[in-house]
């Protein structure tokens, strides 16, 4: 498979003959502050060995121009050696030195070396992001995870800038208007993990020290950085505090000293993902620097990401998967460790498993029910497959399965296995079998059958209680029924709940057992009084969807919000949402539950999930004939709870944002405008800048905001965040002109940076504007292959997923999607996967609407 899309077979062949000894990379980014400068100079020297002298090999590089290629002192003609994606070299020796000089492009898509100019002060910032394979946009590389090597970076940058990379800098040499930063060689790492961050960043420094078991002291310099204009909002002490707790915790659990020297954390603009685990130089999206008030759920989410990336220093950086098939060997572990660490490290976020059960697993359940679902250990044929597998299966399902493994094998056996894994495979690459061998040693269990069921098969099981009782109301049998494709072994807890003297639903009994096969009897339950609620998978030990017997479901309809335990209540909320998505509960019934009980929900993260799901239920799953009424009910409920919420509380802020999302009548929109103008007031509610934009978006989507008003708000907030939100508001206006402008800005040009592409699509796709966006369904299907061919995969994925006519929930749109899939069997598999998943969402919505209508 030639070109950009490296195949697994090509990578395996290359790894079979090559060993890479070192990289030396020199980047000259002194041109970066000049917006007219499109490229920077990149010089790469690779020392490598070849077991087949005389062989040919290719080096990956995506660059506008290659100036020179030299192999073992022999110059090669770039015109023939470079094909636009690969540098081909032949006549290899046993020991080789290859130098490639190229002009590489600054990025505006978040892939490669991204350049951003701050509208607030005109300063320019750079950072790299590569996963899975964009280091080749910055330097010549063997772009696959199993060809690890030490990297030595040298960066020449404007004199006023600072520069960071994976290792500490050894010297900085001034040269007029520039300075050259030379960094120490790294430990052996994969190409996608290398990093450069450069610019006039605001920096906060600290350090962490720990006495190791051998008596030596491990000292880790720490830093956290953001753009200068964000410095007034940067709570670096909070971030560094979580960092230190995490380093303590992971050292205790892993018993392997942090291997990468320093620990920098850069919060960077226009970042495509949450964060990236570059060893020694972690990058985060700067939206984690909160300009305005956010709920505690946002702080918990950020702390989770900090610990997730830190876990990668061991799972992923120290020990790396051989190829992207085993991506889960790092992402599932890091996702699990994020929540496990928040609780175990003693952070203030002790409800992390509630958030995991309610939010992360919802992502996994959705992904695992697509026709494109895949095993946790996936079949990754090429880089495009790899890009799409950073999904709910690899992250959240994998983390859920690891939680099940800890319950199955035992916590100490699991962590002893991790310790041996790091010792044996440090700075190497592994596959599934390498981990299983060690975990079998430590647990004494046969994990091959467990892995075959959990890691090598796809799909989610459903567990349903089957309960019978005698005339006196005593249980004669309680069984757990399992269905859903491959039947797996589940270690679960079954909770029985009844009302206490205060009327709350509390657990009165708990049974822990192994569920195997289609039917498992809970013997200990026999003879007990039939409870008000049977909750399967209590404590959320396994990965499954749960159902309820009729009496339990009726208890939830009348008392879901009265379940006292936060995790049990979150599991119940998750279960009724799955019932709604599976067309087993009418959308209006789910909305009624939210309106009845969300005001009682203590957990702010769960509450915010309920808001998003209730909005989705009305917009997508409800009968269109009831949609208007459902929308009014949500807006009325939001207004009622906003006025009832404690002044200044997180709940008040969450309800204010929900009102902005649902406002649709004169009373709601009048209050929104009054809050913006200062003529209306809710006691304790601060209408700060981020909330102002949320309120403006409500008015814009309703057609109640003029272009002049939106321009005035941008003038008052001429920042990167302000520009994103202004762009979304413009696209969200309910006019043909606004939709045409947003569509054209994204489709007809590649000038928009990634952040504004995302904002334009979000504004265009307001569900209430389905009549306006219906006109774009036919053009959408006609341009798919062109967009996939012409844009970078990151931008193409956003366009394909974001512009899919999801709001047109009708048979005609489903037929258009089916027609495209049938007519394009040879389209790129990754493109077909995206369309097929959006098509499946559409079919699910039609089934849910039929349920709601009935």
DSSP bridge pairs for 182: 154, 171
Give the residue among 224, 233, 36, 226 at the shortest CA–CA distance from 125. Answer: 226
Residues 6+ apart with CB under 8 A from 66: 78, 81, 82, 87, 100, 101, 102, 103
Residue ranges with strand state E in 139-259: 151-158, 162-165, 169-175, 178-183, 196-199, 202-211, 217-226
496-544 pLDDT per residue, tens:
999 999 999 999 999 999 999 999 999 999 999 999 999 999 999 999 9
355-391 pLDDT per residue, tens:
999 999 999 999 999 999 999 998 899 998 888 888 8
Residue 49's pLDDT is 98
Half-sphere exposure of 707 (CA within 13 A, CB side): 6
Q: What is the DSSP letter of 424?
A: H
- Our CA dihedral for 255, 257, 259, 261, rounded to 10 degrees, sits at 160
564-576 pLDDT per residue, tens:
999 999 999 999 9
Residue 1: which pLDDT band, with cuts at 50, 70 and 90? very low
Does residue 399 surpass a pLDDT of 90? yes
> Two tokens at 677?
């103008």
Q: What is residue 265's three-state secondary structure?
A: strand
Question: Which one of the listed residues 131, 309, 416, 562 is annotated catalytic?
Answer: 309
A 10 A CB-CB count for 183 gives 23
Q: Are 222 and 263 in contact (CB under 8 A)?
A: yes
Element (H, E) at 762: helix 754-764
Helix residue ranges, H only, 509-603: 550-559, 566-581, 587-597
Give the residue among 36, 316, 267, 43 at the shortest CA–CA distance from 153. Answer: 43
Question: Residue-wise over 515-531: b if at least 16 C-beta within 10 A, else e?
Answer: beeeebebeebeebebb
Residues 6+ apart with CB under 8 A from 26: 41, 42, 43, 44, 153, 154, 155, 156
Does residue 2 surpass a pLDDT of 50? no
For the ranges 159-173, 399-413, 644-658, 777-791, the lowest mean pLDDT is seen at 399-413
Backbone angles phi, psi at 328, to 5 degrees: -60, -25
Cα separation of 118 and 413, whole Å? 50
User: Average of pLDDT values for 740-757?
Assistant: 96
Task: Identify which has the larger pLDDT, 400 or 4.
Answer: 400
What is the pTM for the complete model shown? 0.96
Residue with tokens 């030595």, as numbered in its chain: 152
Backbone angles phi, psi at 577, to 5 degrees: -70, -40
Residue 55's pLDDT is 95
User: How far, CA to CA in Å, does 13 sit from each of 7, 57, 121, 506, 758?
Assistant: 10, 10, 49, 59, 38
Sign of CA dihedral 90, 152, 269, 176: negative
Cα separation of 481 and 487, whole Å? 10
Burial (CB < 10 A; 0-12, 13-18, 19+), residue 744, is exposed
Residue 3's pLDDT is 57
Q: What is residue 384's three-state secondary structure?
A: helix
Cα separation of 392 and 361, whole Å? 8
Specify whether 551 is catalytic: no
Residue 384's pLDDT is 87
407-456 pLDDT per residue, tens:
888 899 999 999 999 999 999 999 999 999 999 999 998 888 889 999 99
User: Average of pLDDT values for 707-733?
Assistant: 97
Element (H, E) at 49: strand 39-50
Does residue 157 surpass a pLDDT of 70? yes
* Helices first, then strands: H and E counts in the chain: 29, 28
For 82-121, the DSSP string reads B-SSEEEE-S--SEEEEEEEEEEEPBSSSSEEEEEE-TTT
216-253 pLDDT per residue, tens:
999 999 999 999 999 999 999 999 999 999 999 999 99
| Mean model confidence pLDDT for the chain | 96
Give the residue among 442, 443, 212, 189 at the shortest CA–CA distance from 319. Answer: 189
DSSP bridge pairs for 24: 45, 152
- Our CA dihedral for 460, 465, 466, 471, rounded to 10 degrees, sits at -170
């Amino acid at each position: 498979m030639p070109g950009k899309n490296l195949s697994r077979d090509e990578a395996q062949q290359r790894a079979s003959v090559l060993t890479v000894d070192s990289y030396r990379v020199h980047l000259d980014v002194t041109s970066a502050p000049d917006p007219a400068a499109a490229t920077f100079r990149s010089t790469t020297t690779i020392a490598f060995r070849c077991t087949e002298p005389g062989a040919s090999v290719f080096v990956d590089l995506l660059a506008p121009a290659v100036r020179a290629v030299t192999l073992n002192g022999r110059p090669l003609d770039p015109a023939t050696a470079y094909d636009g994606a690969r540098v081909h070299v032949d006549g290899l020796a046993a020991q080789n030195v290859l130098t490639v000089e190229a002009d590489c492009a600054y990025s505006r898509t978040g892939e490669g070396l991204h350049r951003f100019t701050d509208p607030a002060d005109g300063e320019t910032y750079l950072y790299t992001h590569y996963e899975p394979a964009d280091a080749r946009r910055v330097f010549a590389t063997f772009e696959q995870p199993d060809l690890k090597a030490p990297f030595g970076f040298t960066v020449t940058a404007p004199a006023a800038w600072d520069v960071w990379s994976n290792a500490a800098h050894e010297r900085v040499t001034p040269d007029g208007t520039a300075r050259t930063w030379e960094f120490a060689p790294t430990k052996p790492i994969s190409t996608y993990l290398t990093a450069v961050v450069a610019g006039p960043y605001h920096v906060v420094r600290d350090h962490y020290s720990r006495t190791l078991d051998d008596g030596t002291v491990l000292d880790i310099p720490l830093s956290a950085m953001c753009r200068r204009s964000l410095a007034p909002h940067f709570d670096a002490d909070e971030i560094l505090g979580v960092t230190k707790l995490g380093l303590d915790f992971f050292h205790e659990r892993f018993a392997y000293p942090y291997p990468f020297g320093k620990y920098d954390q850069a919060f960077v603009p226009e970042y495509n993902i949450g964060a990236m685990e570059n060893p020694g130089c972690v990058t985060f999206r700067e939206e984690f620097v909160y300009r305005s008030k956010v709920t505690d759920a946002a702080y918990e989410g950020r702390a989770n990401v900090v610990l997730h990336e830190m876990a990668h220093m061991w799972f992923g950086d120290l020990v790396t998967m051989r190829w992207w098939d085993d991506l889960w060997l790092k992402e599932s572990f890091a996702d699990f460790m994020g929540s496990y660490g928040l609780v175990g490290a003693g952070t203030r976020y002790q409800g992390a498993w509630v958030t995991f059960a309610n939010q992360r697993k919802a992502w996994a359940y959705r992904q695992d029910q697509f026709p494109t679902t895949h095993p946790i250990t996936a079949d990754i044929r090429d880089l495009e497959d790899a890009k799409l597998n950073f999904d709910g299966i690899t992250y959240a399902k994998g983390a859920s399965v690891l939680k099940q493994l800890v319950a199955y094998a035992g916590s100490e056996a699991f962590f002893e296995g991790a310790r041996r894994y790091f010792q044996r495979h440090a700075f190497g690459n592994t596959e599934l079998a390498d981990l299983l061998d060690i975990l079998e040693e430590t647990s004494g269990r046969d994990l091959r059958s467990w892995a075959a069921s959990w890691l090598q098969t796809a799909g989610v099981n459903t567990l349903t209680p089957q309960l019978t009782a005698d005339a006196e109301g005593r249980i004669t049998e309680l069984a757990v029924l399992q269905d859903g494709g491959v039947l797996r072994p589940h270690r679960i807890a079954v909770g029985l709940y009844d009302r206490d003297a205060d009327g709350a639903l509390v657990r009165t009994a708990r049974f822990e057992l192994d569920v195997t096969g289609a039917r498992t009897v809970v013997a200990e339950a026999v003879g007990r009084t039939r409870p008000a609620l049977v909750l399967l998978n209590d404590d959320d030990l396994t990965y499954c969807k749960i159902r309820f017997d009729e009496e339990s479901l009726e208890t939830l309809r009348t008392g879901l919000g009265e379940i006292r335990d936060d995790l049990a209540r979150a599991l119940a909320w998750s279960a009724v949402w799955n019932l709604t998505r599976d067309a087993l509960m009418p959308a209006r019934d789910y909305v009624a539950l939210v309106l009845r009980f969300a005001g009682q929900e203590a957990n702010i993260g769960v509450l915010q999930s309920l808001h998003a799901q209730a909005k989705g239920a009305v917009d997508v799953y409800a009968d269109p004939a009831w949609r208007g009424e459902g929308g009014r009910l949500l807006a009325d409920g939001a207004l009622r709870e906003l006025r009832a919420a404690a002044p200044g509380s997180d709940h008040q802020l969450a309800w204010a944002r929900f009102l902005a999302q649902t406002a649709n009548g004169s009373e709601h929109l009048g209050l929104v405008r009054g809050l913006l103008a200062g003529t209306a007031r809710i006691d304790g509610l601060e209408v700060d800048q981020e909330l102002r934009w949320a309120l403006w978006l409500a008015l814009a989507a309703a057609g109640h905001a003029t272009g002049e008003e939106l321009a005035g708000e941008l003038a008052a907030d001429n920042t990167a965040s302000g520009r994103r939100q202004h762009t979304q508001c413009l696209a969200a206006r309910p006019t043909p002109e606004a939709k045409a402008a947003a569509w054209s800005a994204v489709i007809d040009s590649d000038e928009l940076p990634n952040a504004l592409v995302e904002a334009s699509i979000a504004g265009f796709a307001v569900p209430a504007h389905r009549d306006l966006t219906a006109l774009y369904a036919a053009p959408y299907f006609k341009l798919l292959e062109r967009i996939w061919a012409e844009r970078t995969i990151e931008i193409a994925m956003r366009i394909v997923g974001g512009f899919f006519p999801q709001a047109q929930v009708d048979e005609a749109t489903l037929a258009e999607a089916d027609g495209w899939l049938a007519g394009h069997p040879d389209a790129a598999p990754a493109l077909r996967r995206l369309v097929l998943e959006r098509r499946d969402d559409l079919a699910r919505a039609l089934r849910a609407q039929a349920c709601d209508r009935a």
